């Protein structure tokens, strides 16, 4: 009896201390506008249900309470932002803000790679990785884009005049391409739909997306006991097994070359392949750093793969869908590709891509309408004033990019798809943080040039080969957003060949 009394007393004491220690947070939160709350659960019930329901509720709440408001997810204070002036303060001040705890969900897959790392480790790895995205290195990836485009075009020709979910095709293309450019590994998912690596990567991505949508799975202990938690472990074992084996082999080859007195900095590549992957360049750049382990390198390769395949799938799928709905814009993009590449069957070159200005504007406008990442989380480490409000230390900040990109102050008639919003003279008139598809500030996306070059290449290739029409009305799409924006009912389009008698143009 005494033991129970002591435990109850201890619990009450801890609860009172917790409540008292957060009095400043509660006070500052009370000064922020926001929807009504319920005892204990706060606003959590608004985010229970399907991913589609969560997306609709989030959109409704943001549209009602923006540009700054608070939510209570149980005891967790969330401050939502959608004004570029506030967002700039968050993204430029690493002293006050760090990556949100949601990124911890990615640690089983990515470990302490660049996207989840912080502090000195992040600075060190960012400095190490930055040179791997130099334009001369990106140019070497173009033949890989071309080879995988050839396979994609051949597959798409077999679907002519059918309604297809283009996201399924883009996902396999993206995985094949990102694996080859990241590791020199060819899973051949487009040719072999039962590739263990491809299947495992798709499964992990799917589980990660679902977990973000289900608040009751945020606890690691509970999640690990679920079916999804067990499936995640099995799939990660496959992914990490393959990537670790590749990294070890490359590092052994590097060690052999060094023992033979070969100047690693001058050697073209590690091993038998002359096309250098991201991993090759990373190992070259880290040749003098003995602190990097196999796991360190593997985590950066996995991070590159994670950030590159789902985002590319989303961007290209939504772009093709929107071009199908806007025939005049599609025609202008097609004519630009023709004017740059010509009517011959020659390959698209790296230099061609820099000339595809309108194609690039189409991609940027898609990122405005359907940003690949619609919400950016940050943790507030210290109290900071933000215009008429003060954000308390310990709150979670959510940057709603979907709302930011549709702010009529910066994008008049925001629902309309209009690539000319991204003409230089129009960009110069806007707040620099009004459009942030790749985040912004010191922790912006390091691979954005890679992503845009690849997207321009494949979009130009598809435009050369196919005329696009939509498979459904725009309002019939059911967008959802966990980590990456997708559509719950797929992204249906119809393709018709432009060159029936010729081979694919890539």
Q: What is the pLDDT of residues 180-224, one digit of tens each?
A: 898 888 888 888 767 788 888 888 888 887 887 777 788 888 899
Instruction: Tell me: is residue 445 an annotated ligand-binding position.
Output: yes
C-alpha 387: how far from chain center: 30
For 252-387, where are the E strands, in sequence order? 375-380, 384-386
Burial of 497 (0-12, 13-18, 19+ CB in 10 A): middle
Please write the tens of the pLDDT for every residue from 434-474.
Answer: 999 999 888 888 889 999 999 999 999 999 999 999 999 99
Please write the tens of the pLDDT for every residue from 424-435.
Answer: 999 999 999 999
Looking at residue 392, the DSSP 8-state letter turns out to be: P
Q: What are the boundaries of each domain within the chain? A: 44-497
Q: What average pLDDT does the structure give for the chain?
A: 87
SS3 at position 67? coil
Q: What share of the chain is helix, strand, coil (3-state, %, to 5)?
A: 55, 10, 30
Please write the tens of the pLDDT for every residue from 313-327.
Answer: 999 999 999 999 999
Please write the tens of the pLDDT for every residue from 326-348.
Answer: 999 999 999 999 999 987 788 99
Q: Would you state the CATH architecture of domain 44-497?
A: Orthogonal Bundle (1.10)
- Whether the CB-CB separation of 491 and 171 falls below 8 Å is answered with no
Please write the tens of the pLDDT for every residue from 65-124.
Answer: 989 999 998 888 999 999 999 999 999 988 888 887 778 888 898 888 888 888 888 888
pLDDT band, residue 502 (cuts 50/70/90)? very low
User: pLDDT at position 133, please?
Assistant: 84
User: What are the φ/ψ torsions at residue 246 (nearest 5 degrees)?
Assistant: -65, -45
Q: At residue 270, does pLDDT exceed 70?
A: no
9: CB partners within 8 A, 6+ apart:
none
User: pLDDT at position 317, please?
Assistant: 97
Residue 479 vs residue 134, higher pLDDT: 479
Neighbours of 194 (CB within 10 A): 7
Residue position matching structure tokens 């263990």: 196
Alpha-carbon distance 285 to 281, whole Å?
6
């Amino acid at each position: 009896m005494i033991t129970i009394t002591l435990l109850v007393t201890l619990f009450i004491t801890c609860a009172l201390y917790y409540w008292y220690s957060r009095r400043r947070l509660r006070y500052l939160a009370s000064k922020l506008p926001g929807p009504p709350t319920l005892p204990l659960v706060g606003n959590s019930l608004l985010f229970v249900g399907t991913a589609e329901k969560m997306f609709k509720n989030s959109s409704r709440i943001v549209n009602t309470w923006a540009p700054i408001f608070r939510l209570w997810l149980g005891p967790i204070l969330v401050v939502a932002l959608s004004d570029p002036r506030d967002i700039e303060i968050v993204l430029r001040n690493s002293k006050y803000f760090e990556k949100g705890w949601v990124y911890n969900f990615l640690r089983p897959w990515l470990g302490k790679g660049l996207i989840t790392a912080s502090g000195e480790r992040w600075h060190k790895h960012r400095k190490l990785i930055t040179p791997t995205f130099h334009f001369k290195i990106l140019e070497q990836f173009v033949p890989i884009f071309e080879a995988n485009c050839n396979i994609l075009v051949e597959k798409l020709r077999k679907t002519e005049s059918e309604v297809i979910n283009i996201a399924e095709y883009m996902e396999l293309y993206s995985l094949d391409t990102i694996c080859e450019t990241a590791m020199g590994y060819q899973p051949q998912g487009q040719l072999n739909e039962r590739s263990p690596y491809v299947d495992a990567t798709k499964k992990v991505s799917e589980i990660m997306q679902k977990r973000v949508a289900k608040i009751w799975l945020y606890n690691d202990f509970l999640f690990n006991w679920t079916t999804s938690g067990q499936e995640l472990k099995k799939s990660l074992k496959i992914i990490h097994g393959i990537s670790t084996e590749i990294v070890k082999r490359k590092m052994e080859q590097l060690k052999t070359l060094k023992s033979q007195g070969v100047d690693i900095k001058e050697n073209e590549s590690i091993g038998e392949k002359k096309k250098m992957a991201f991993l090759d360049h990373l190992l070259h750049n880290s040749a003098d750093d003995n602190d990097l382990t196999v796991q360190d390198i593997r985590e950066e390769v996995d991070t590159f793969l994670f950030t590159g395949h789902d985002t590319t799938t989303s961007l290209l799928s939504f772009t093709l869908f929107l071009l199908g709905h806007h025939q005049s814009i599609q025609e202008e993009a097609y004519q630009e590709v023709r004017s740059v590449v010509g009517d011959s069957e020659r390959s698209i070159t790296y230099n061609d891509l820099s000339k595809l200005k309108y194609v690039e504007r189409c991609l940027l406008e898609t990122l405005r309408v359907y940003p690949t990442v619609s919400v950016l989380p940050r943790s507030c480490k210290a109290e900071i004033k933000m215009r008429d409000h003060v954000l308390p230390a310990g709150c979670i900040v959510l940057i709603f990019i979907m709302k930011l990109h549709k702010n009529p102050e910066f994008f008049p008639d925001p629902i309309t798809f209009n690539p000319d919003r991204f003409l230089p003279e129009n960009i110069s008139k806007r707040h620099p943080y009004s459009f942030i598809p790749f985040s912004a500030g010191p922790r912006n996306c390091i691979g954005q040039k890679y992503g845009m070059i690849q997207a321009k290449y494949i979009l130009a290739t598809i435009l050369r080969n196919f005329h696009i029409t939509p498979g459904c009305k725009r309002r019939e799409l059911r967008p959802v957003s966990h980590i990456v924006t997708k559509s719950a009912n797929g992204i249906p389009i119809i393709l018709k060949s432009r060159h029936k008698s010729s081979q694919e143009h890539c």
